[in-house]
Chains A and B, each alone.
Chain A
Amino acid sequence: MYGISRRGLMKSGVAAGVLGLTGMPVHAATRGGKLTAGLGGANTSDSWDSRTHSDLFMIASCHGAVFDCLTEVAADGSLQGELAESWEASADAKVWTFNLRSGVTFHNGKAFGADDVIASLQMHIGEESKSAAKPIVEAITEMKKLSDTQIEFTLASGNADFPYLMSDYHICMYPAGQIEDAIANGIGTGLYSVVSFDPGVRMVAKRVDDHYKGDSAGYFDEIEYIAINDNTARMNALMTGQVDAINRIDFKTEALLKANPALRIQEVTGNQQYTFPMLTDNAPYNDVNVRRAIKYGVNRQELVDKILQGHGAVGNDTPIGPANQYYNDEMEQISYDPDKSKFYLKEAGLDSIDLDLSASNAAFEGAVDAAQLMQASMAPGGININVVQEPADGYWSNVWLKKPFSACYWSGRATEDWMFATAYEAGVPWNDSQWDGDDSARFQELLLTARAELDSDKRKAQYFEMQQILRDDGGVLIPMFANYVQAVNNRISSPEVVGNLWQMDNARMAERWSVA
């Protein structure tokens, strides 16, 4: 449990800083009152179909309030049961048995059981499915109902992270046979049942009277989420007290919020990362020395200071961040060193090199500025960057995965394997560095071994080695991790440790926060 305690320590450190500033009492939750939140990331095309969710408004409404998953990631990063009470694996991590909580009902009164789990998972598979969780569910070869409260999954290959995957916000539990109705009206097993929902405008829900989570969560009588996509409008709403909490603070106006004694800023470093993938099947990026020269040519601290205005942490070219369990913080940090860039260029048989870097603010806010800073910092090392400003529209289909050196972002994943399987495993569609050649052999081998490894110590060693390989040889430059920054009115109290997997306490503020 190495990663968790370290992370807990770090976050309580951040929280202590907040406490010191605002004098907020330690979180002691009491029932009652209302939470009004102004949230960005809403759209008129929103619905209660969790397969289509990708942004905060619906994740907080669906996964965070109205619906439940089998498992959930606690604020400290540990995994706990939600609709599943416990689970166990076979020795090869191929067969998983989940024991479901009994006596759980949906908001329409239907009892929850194993059939609902099977039906909910089946929503994600099939030819027609466009679900983002399709790869996760497709890995299940057989679902067997052992009893109403017990279900057995057989996987195509062993996966020690399987219970973690079941906490994905796409995989919410719907009532079997009533899925269409549940999607139309929002009928889940969550702490709050829907009162009204107007896509892209507003969601109101009230606390379920008799919920299986009892008094351990869900302290508000009522929650109201208002869709406010405009940054300034969101900030105004908080400043004028019309909402209690907002997500995605604009760094430029953060000082104004800080100056307001009635508010506090929550800031956590999670796995959200701004990256620059290089297509390693293209020259000159197929030469590991060129990649290393680039990695040493970037002034990471400058990027964090100027692009994130300090709201972030330097990256070490691995996608595994502080919100991961096996985050390797023992590796030496790559720091800016033009001489090393020159050295590695010489190793590649070059004195200097000219490269095109494609960037657009569609990749992340400030990507073009970041590219220009990199251009300036790499020049002394003999790397001449030509920044190509790409149009924001169609960036993901025309530039990313197509141009040899481009800007990108990832929100990260809860587990190491999930992240690697999404963007680093040989042959997967989003392997945005196409890093599958000979020099990645050891990494790819470890990826498969670690996936089925149930022993935590062994896994840790394997994932540490993989991060080291990525840092030294990988094809993606990951100079910075961006913090999640949100603001809360002091009328609302929140626990000391706030989740860092996703914005707004892992989108579960309705469940974990309360009226002060």
Chain B
Amino acid sequence: MALGLLTLLIVSIVIFVAVNLLPGDFAELILGQGATPEAVAKIREDLGLDQSLVSRYFGWLGGMLTGDLGSSFAQLNFQTNLGGAGGVTVAEQIAPRFANTMFLATVTAIIAVPIAVTLGILAALYRNTVFDRAANILTLSSISSPEFFMAYVLILFLAVLNPILPSLSNIYEGMAFSDRLEKTLLPALTLTLVVTAHMMRMTRAAIINLLASPYIEMARLKGMSPLRVIVKHALPNALAPIINVIALNLAYLITGVVVVEVVFVYPGIGQLFVDSVKIRDIPVVQACCLIFAAAYILLNLTADILSILSNPRLRHPK
């Protein structure tokens, strides 16, 4: 846990420095061609961008520790234009976007995890057959192509040539659940193609690894069917590595959706992140990164706990 927090702290420093190393800052980018020295100086002063990197970082960290993510530069700039009225905080800005991303991740997980595990078991069962090879080739080629390419392939086949699903996933608040699901399906399928291979191959490898064990040999000699051997005897012991790789992929579903969200115009945290990096809106970028990092750490932690729970030897230490 402490290690997790330390990781978060380091991540926040790295992100802060990295964003500041990018050429141009919020003031210059928001003004664009209109960036006269006076206007830039004015905005920098309003936003505190004229202070040193270190003092800005600790200012942000202080707020962060008291649970205040601050307001985005865009909001602050807007408020000074308006004369200081209250505005939307970063937390309020991120919350709906994060909920959308979580929805996409959940839909994807519900599709991808059963498919991957089933395919993995079947591939282990029929290893080195045509089915095994075909499953491997398909999943490996889908993981090897860039996400946007998979996205466009799916759009071509499922939205343009056979208009079954919408290519635009602009979900919004107050949308009926079924509509929301329909709009989310195409990005979810894209992500499914991207994450399935890893989980499936890990399942297959973990099971095949166990198939040489004496107790499996015993089960087989008892006359059990191969499917039963795998599901009843091999799978429970292979759970730990499988859970680990599933957790890793779930984390990827939250942190790695940036490209997919942009392609499908899905209003998730990834889009917000891209928009904010473009204008160097550091408070939002920082908050997004922290959420990404926290998601990774939490899911890994959960994976560790689940693998312990799935292993009686670890559950009942001598």
Residues of chain A touching chain B, judged by Cβ–Cβ distance below 8 Å, are: 38, 43-45, 47, 49, 51-52, 54, 128-132, 180, 183-184, 196, 198, 200-202, 226-228, 230, 232-233, 236-237, 239-243, 391, 393-394, 396-397, 400, 408, 429-430
Interface centre among B77, B81, B279 (most CB of A within 10 A): B81
Contact yes or no, A51 B265, CB < 8 A: no
By a CB distance below 8 angstroms, the chain A residues around B124 are none
Q: Is B145 an interface residue (CB 8 A)?
A: no
Q: Is B22 an interface residue (CB 8 A)?
A: yes
Of chain A, the residue at the smallest CB distance from B88 is: A199
Chain B contact patch, size range: 35 or more
By a CB distance below 8 angstroms, the chain B residues around A230 are 262-263, 265
Interface residue SS majority, chain A:
loop
By a CB distance below 8 angstroms, the chain A residues around B82 are 49, 180, 183
By a CB distance below 8 angstroms, the chain B residues around A43 are 74, 275, 279
A492 to B34 CA separation, bound complex (whole angstroms)? 36
Q: Which of A51, A54, A132, A393 contacts B22 (CB 8 A)?
A: A393
Q: Which of A49, A54, A228, A391 contacts B265 (CB 8 A)?
A: A228
Contact yes or no, A54 B32, CB < 8 A: yes
Closest Cβ–Cβ distance, residue A160 to chain B (whole Å): 26
By a CB distance below 8 angstroms, the chain A residues around B279 are 43, 45
By a CB distance below 8 angstroms, the chain A residues around B155 are 236, 240
A438 to B16 CA separation, bound complex (whole angstroms)? 50
Q: Which of B32, B77, B172, B276 contacts A44 (CB 8 A)?
A: B276
Interface stretch (choices B161-169, B196-204, B239-247, B309-317): B161-169
Known A196-B172, A228-B168, A230-B263; contact A240-B163, beta-carbon cutoff 8 A: yes
Contact yes or no, A396 B32, CB < 8 A: yes
Of chain A, the residue at the smallest CB distance from B172 is: A202
By a CB distance below 8 angstroms, the chain B residues around A49 are 78, 81-82
Q: Which of B24, B81, B267, B275 contacts A130 (CB 8 A)?
A: B81
Q: Is B170 an interface residue (CB 8 A)?
A: yes
A sample of 25 inter-chain contacts (CB < 8 A) reads A44-B74, A44-B272, A45-B77, A45-B275, A45-B279, A47-B78, A49-B82, A52-B78, A54-B34, A130-B43, A180-B82, A196-B172, A196-B174, A201-B170, A202-B170, A228-B265, A233-B168, A233-B262, A236-B160, A240-B160, A393-B22, A393-B23, A394-B28, A397-B35, A430-B33
Q: Is B292 an interface residue (CB 8 A)?
A: no
Closest Cβ–Cβ distance, residue B211 to chain A (whole Å): 46
A72 to B179 CA separation, bound complex (whole angstroms)? 39
A51 to B172 CA separation, bound complex (whole angstroms)? 27
Contact yes or no, A233 B93, CB < 8 A: no
Known A130-B42, A226-B265; contact A51-B81, beta-carbon cutoff 8 A: yes
Contact yes or no, B81 A198, CB < 8 A: no
| Per-residue interface assignment for chain B, residues 257 to 277, with 1 indicating a CB less than 8 Å from any chain A CB and 0 otherwise | 000001111010001100110
Q: Is B30 an interface residue (CB 8 A)?
A: yes
Q: Is B307 an interface residue (CB 8 A)?
A: no
A239 to B166 CA separation, bound complex (whole angstroms)? 11
A200 to B100 CA separation, bound complex (whole angstroms)? 15
By a CB distance below 8 angstroms, the chain A residues around B39 are 130
Q: Which of B81, B152, B166, B284 contacts A52 (CB 8 A)?
A: B81
The B83-122 residues at the A interface (CB cut-off 8 A) are 83, 85, 93
By a CB distance below 8 angstroms, the chain B residues around A130 are 39, 42-43, 77, 81
Known A38-B168, A230-B265, A233-B265; contact A396-B28, beta-carbon cutoff 8 A: yes
By a CB distance below 8 angstroms, the chain A residues around B81 are 49, 51-52, 128-131
Contact yes or no, A237 B28, CB < 8 A: no
By a CB distance below 8 angstroms, the chain B residues around A236 are 155, 159-160, 167-168
A226 to B169 CA separation, bound complex (whole angstroms)? 11
5 closest Cβ pairs, A-B complex? A45-B74, A393-B23, A394-B24, A393-B24, A201-B267
Of chain A, the residue at the smallest CB distance from B279 is: A45
By a CB distance below 8 angstroms, the chain B residues around A51 are 81
By a CB distance below 8 angstroms, the chain B residues around A180 are 82-83, 85
A56 to B156 CA separation, bound complex (whole angstroms)? 28
By a CB distance below 8 angstroms, the chain A residues around B262 are 230, 233
A408 to B34 CA separation, bound complex (whole angstroms)? 12
Of chain A, the residue at the smallest CB distance from B27 is: A397
By a CB distance below 8 angstroms, the chain B residues around A429 are 36
A51 to B36 CA separation, bound complex (whole angstroms)? 16
Closest Cβ–Cβ distance, residue B237 to chain A (whole Å): 45
Of chain B, the residue at the smallest CB distance from A134 is: B39
Q: Which of A129, A202, A240, A400 contacts B167 (CB 8 A)?
A: A240
A239 to B160 CA separation, bound complex (whole angstroms)? 7
Closest Cβ–Cβ distance, residue B175 to chain A (whole Å): 11
Closest Cβ–Cβ distance, residue A252 to chain B (whole Å): 15
A408 to B271 CA separation, bound complex (whole angstroms)? 29
Contact yes or no, B168 A237, CB < 8 A: yes
Contact yes or no, B74 A242, CB < 8 A: no
| Per-residue interface assignment for chain B, residues 28 to 60, with 1 indicating a CB less than 8 Å from any chain A CB and 0 otherwise | 111111111001101100000000000000000
Contact yes or no, A240 B168, CB < 8 A: yes
Of chain A, the residue at the smallest CB distance from B262 is: A230
Closest Cβ–Cβ distance, residue B120 to chain A (whole Å): 33
Closest Cβ–Cβ distance, residue A139 to chain B (whole Å): 18
Contact yes or no, B168 A243, CB < 8 A: yes
By a CB distance below 8 angstroms, the chain A residues around B36 are 429
Q: Is B72 an interface residue (CB 8 A)?
A: yes
A130 to B72 CA separation, bound complex (whole angstroms)? 18
Q: Is B302 an interface residue (CB 8 A)?
A: no
Q: Is B80 an interface residue (CB 8 A)?
A: yes
Contact yes or no, A200 B275, CB < 8 A: yes
Interface centre among B77, B170, B275 (most CB of A within 10 A): B170
By a CB distance below 8 angstroms, the chain A residues around B147 are none
Interface centre among B35, B152, B276, B281 (most CB of A within 10 A): B35
By a CB distance below 8 angstroms, the chain B residues around A198 are 172-173, 267
Q: Which of A47, A52, A227, A396 contacts B33 (CB 8 A)?
A: A396
A202 to B28 CA separation, bound complex (whole angstroms)? 26
Contact yes or no, B78 A397, CB < 8 A: no
Contact yes or no, A391 B23, CB < 8 A: yes
Closest Cβ–Cβ distance, residue B171 to chain A (whole Å): 9
Of chain B, the residue at the smallest CB distance from A180 is: B85
Of chain B, the residue at the smallest CB distance from A226 is: B170
By a CB distance below 8 angstroms, the chain B residues around A54 are 32, 34
By a CB distance below 8 angstroms, the chain B residues around A227 are 265
**New A-B pairs, 19, CB < 8 Å, besides A47-B78, A52-B81, A202-B170:** A43-B74, A44-B275, A49-B78, A49-B81, A54-B32, A54-B34, A200-B275, A201-B267, A226-B265, A232-B263, A233-B262, A233-B264, A233-B265, A236-B159, A236-B167, A240-B163, A240-B167, A393-B22, A408-B33
Closest Cβ–Cβ distance, residue A264 to chain B (whole Å): 19
Contact yes or no, A45 B28, CB < 8 A: no
Closest Cβ–Cβ distance, residue B309 to chain A (whole Å): 40
